[in-house]
Structure 1
Amino acid sequence: MLSQWPPINWQNSVSYNGTQVYSFQYNANNNLTKETDETAGTSTNYNMTTTIA
């Protein structure tokens, strides 16, 4: 059995100093996409987390 792609739920977020500055959400069931960009300054010290469910 092949895995579904794209996954049903996809969320990607970038945080800076504990504050989320960018997030992307995708839902394959209804092709719902949500993208927010709240960039606070510029720095290379970012943390990125990707969750696939």
Structure 2
Amino acid sequence: MTLADAISVYPNPATDKLHIVSESMNRIKSIQLLSNEGKSVYQSTTSVKQVDVIM
């Protein structure tokens, strides 16, 4: 299984909420979202199966 098969990110493009879901038995251990300028806009180190980011 590739990383592209293991993680789902939707909707694309997102306007107010972004869902990041692990499709495998593995949990998401950390995540960092960057803006177009390369600035960190979201960061989490909580181990979960799904992350809902409200923008």
**TM-score between the two structures when normalised by the length of structure 1:** 0.25
Tell me which of the two structures has the higher relative contact order, counting C-alpha pairs closer than 8 angstroms and 6 or more residues apart. 1
Structure with bigger gyration radius = 1
Q: TM-score, normalised by structure 2?
A: 0.24
Of Structure 1 and Structure 2, which has the larger fraction of its residues in strand? 1
